[in-house]
Structure 1
Amino acid sequence: MQLNFRGLPALVTGAGKGIGRDTVKALHALGAKVVAVSRTDADLVSLSEECPGIQTVCVDLGDWDATERALGNVGPVDLLVNNAAVVPLQPFLEVTKEVFDRTFSVNLRSLVQVSQIVARGMIHRGVPGSIVHVSSMVAHVTLPNLSVYSSTKGAISVFTRAMAAELGPYKIRVNSVNPTVVLTAMGQKVLTDPEIARKLKERHPLQKFAETEDVVNSILFLLSDRSASTSGSDAGFTLS
C-alpha cells in the first residue's frame, strides 16, 4: 500500500520515543510537514537530526497553560496523532492523588486540549482532517497495577466515538488504535513479571507482542485517504 502525505501538515505528540518517534519518522519520509511534540528536549534534538526540516515543540502536555502557549498558534494541522502518555505502575489500593492527576492530565486531558486546538483550526480553514489516538488494549482488558492507566485508555475509547460524531459534519475523521504490549521502553515496564508476559503472549491470537512498526502502519492507514470512510473506529491489536 503506497501512501503519500506530501506537503500535508501533521502534528505528533509524545514524539520523543517509541511509537511517537517512529510515527514522526514515517510521516517525514512520506513527505509530511511534521510538528513533533515532546517534553524531553534531548529527544527532539536527536529526532531533528534524523528528520531534517521537522518543527519541534518542547512542552509538558500535563500543563494546560503551557500547552496552550506552546500549541495555541501552532499553525495549520491536517493530521494529528495523540500519542503522549505516562504509564505509572501502582496497585489500586496504593494509587495516589498525584499519580491519578498526572496520568489523567497527560493521557486524557492533553488529548482533548490538543484535539480542540487542531480541530478548531481545521474548521476555521474549512479543510477535512484526520485525528488518530494511540490507546491500548488495556482500554478493554485489565492488567495488574494499571488501574489508572487503563482508565485513561478506556476514556479515550469514548472520546474517540464522541469526537467522531461531533466532528464528522466538518469532514474530520477520528479513530484510535489499541495495541497489545509494544516492545518499546515503556512497554517493557509491563513485562517485568515473566508470568504476566507469558500469559499476555499466550492470549494473543498471533502469540506475539507488537513491534512499533505494526502500530505505525495502522496509524498511517487511519491518517490516509485509504481509510476515508473510517471514523469512530476503536480498534487494533486487542487480546482475545
Structure 2
Amino acid sequence: MDLGLAGRRALVTGAGKGIGRGTVKALHAAGVQVVALSRTRADLDSLVVEPFLEVTKEACDTSFDVNLRAVIQVSQIVARGLIARGAPGAIVNISSQASQRAITNHSVYCSTKGAMDMLTRVMALELGPHKIRVNAVNPTVVMTPMAQANWSDPQKAKAMLDRIPLGRFAEVENVVDVILFLLSDRSSMTTGSTVPVDGGFLAT
C-alpha cells in the first residue's frame, strides 16, 4: 500500500538500533529523506529493571532523561520548525504497553511511559491548531537486542507471553508499520491517540 510518504523529510531519534534503525530503513524504502539521525541518550541500553524498594534517584533521573526529557526537546525542535514554515506534520512517540499495565520490577519504566502517553495527548492538543498531529505507539516487548537480553529468562518471558493472546513478542517491523501509517495522510484524522502493538496484551 502506498502511504504517500515519498518526497517527505523525517527526523528519527534513537536511530542507531532497534525500532529507530528499522524506521529509517522503512522510510528510505518509502522514498522519505531522513534529514537527521538524532542520537540522544535514548540510544543507551538504560532500561531500569529493579524492585520498587531499590529504585534510586540516579535510576529515576536516567529514565526520565531518556523516556521523556529527550522526547520533549527533540519534538520542540521539530514542531517549531514546522510552525515557522507553516507546514503540517506528524510526530509519533514511542511509548509502551507498560504505560497502561503494571509490570513487576518496572516501576520507573512504567511511570515514564505513562507520562509519555499524557505528553502525547497534551502535544496533540496544543499542536493541533498548527496542523501537527501527535500520536504514540504502545508496543509489547519488541525483539531488539536490548529486549532479547532483558527477556532471555524463559520463566520471565513465559509470564509475559501468557498474557498476550497472540502468544508472541513483536518484531521491529510490526511497530515500524504502525509508525509509517501514523506518519502518513492515511491517518489524517488521528491525533492524541495511543495505538497498541501488543498482540492483545492490553485486552486481557
Work out whether the TM-score is over 0.5: yes
Aligned residue in 2 for 1:36: 37
Query: Are 2:192 and 1:192 aligned?
Result: no
SS in structure 1 at match of 2:135: strand
1:114-173 deviations in Å (ceiling 9; x for gaps): 111111111111110000001111001122221111111000010111111111111100
Report if the CA contact (8 A) 2:174-2:197 is conserved: no
Report if the CA contact (8 A) 1:133-1:175 is conserved: yes
Aligned residue in 2 for 1:54: none
Question: CA 1:115–1:8 in structure 2 vs 1: closer, same or farther (change >3 Å)?
Answer: same
Report if the CA contact (8 A) 2:15-2:38 is conserved: yes
Aligned residue in 2 for 1:4: 4
Q: What are the residue-to-residue correspondences of 1:89-238 with 2, within 5 Å?
A: 89-238=49-198
Letter of the 2:189 counterpart: S
Give distance in 1, aligned partners of 2:41 and 2:17: 15
Question: CA 1:197–1:156 in structure 2 vs 1: closer, same or farther (change >3 Å)?
Answer: same
Question: CA 1:84–1:4 in structure 2 vs 1: closer, same or farther (change >3 Å)?
Answer: farther
Identity of aligned residues (%): 56
SS in structure 1 at match of 2:10: strand
Query: Are 2:47 and 1:87 aligned?
Result: yes
1:60-87 deviations in Å (ceiling 9; x for gaps): 447xxxxxxxxxxxxxxxxxxxx98831
Letter of the 1:233 counterpart: S
CA root-mean-square deviation = 1.7
1:169-196 deviations in Å (ceiling 9; x for gaps): 1110000000011111121233133222
Question: CA 1:136–1:216 in structure 2 vs 1: closer, same or farther (change >3 Å)?
Answer: same
Q: Displacement of 1:95 after TM fit? A: 1.1
Q: Which runs of 5+ in 1 are unaligned?
A: 39-59, 63-82
Q: Choose 116-125 or 191-200, whichever is displaced more.
A: 191-200
Q: Displacement of 1:22 after TM fit? A: 0.5
SS in structure 1 at match of 2:48: coil
Give distance in 1, aligned partners of 2:129 and 2:156: 43
Q: Displacement of 1:113 after TM fit? A: 0.9
SS in structure 2 at match of 1:231: coil
SS in structure 1 at match of 2:162: helix
SS in structure 2 at match of 1:6: coil
Give distance in 2, aligned partners of 1:90 and 1:118: 34
Q: Which runs of 5+ in 2 are unaligned?
A: none
Size of the aligned set, in residue pairs, is 199
Aligned residue in 2 for 1:13: 13
Letter of the 1:178 counterpart: N
SS in structure 2 at match of 1:168: helix
Report if the CA contact (8 A) 1:12-1:20 is conserved: yes
Report if the CA contact (8 A) 2:90-2:182 is conserved: yes
